Structure 1
Amino acid sequence: MHSDCSVVIGEGMPIGRPPSSTCPQLVVEDIDAAVAALTARDVPISAVQQLGPEGMPGSRFAFFEDPDGYPWSLQEM
């Protein structure tokens, strides 16, 4: 079994302002398909954002909130 995991610790993180570096990340293989699936279920979600060099694995994100208002992100690996 395989699992991707991201742990970010440090000051001056280069990947944007919150919630980009302050919320749990759900890792997906195809972020465009995941955003489309959530949008089809009426989940308000951001557009896909490139938060690192183009083509760099793990640098595409989208953001949404759960029903209690807590932020989450999708990260494409």
Structure 2
Amino acid sequence: MTAGKPEDAVAVERELERIVAEAEAKLAEVRRELAERRRQDAQHAEIDRLEEHLANATVRWEEVRSFFDDVLAQLRRGEGRDDPPA
């Protein structure tokens, strides 16, 4: 660059700013895509474990059902009546 052409320096600076802005925009796009892929990978991993999740839920439901069966049996036998109903 010569001292006699400051407009060339300004034009080069503007072009560099444009290139940097475009690069930042593309980088942001890449980051969004990577984040989406990570989210999908995590989701797929959980889907792959669906059978395990279902087995755990079934076991827990069996525990809840057993608890209710015990409560009903106690109520039918008259146990757990400390105070008569008001």
TM-score category (smaller protein): under 0.3
TM-score calculated relative to the size of structure 1: 0.21
TM-score calculated relative to the size of structure 2: 0.19
When Rg is computed on C-alpha atoms for both structures, the one with the higher figure is 2
| Structure with bigger RCO (C-alpha 8 Å, 6+ apart) | 1
Larger helix percent: 2
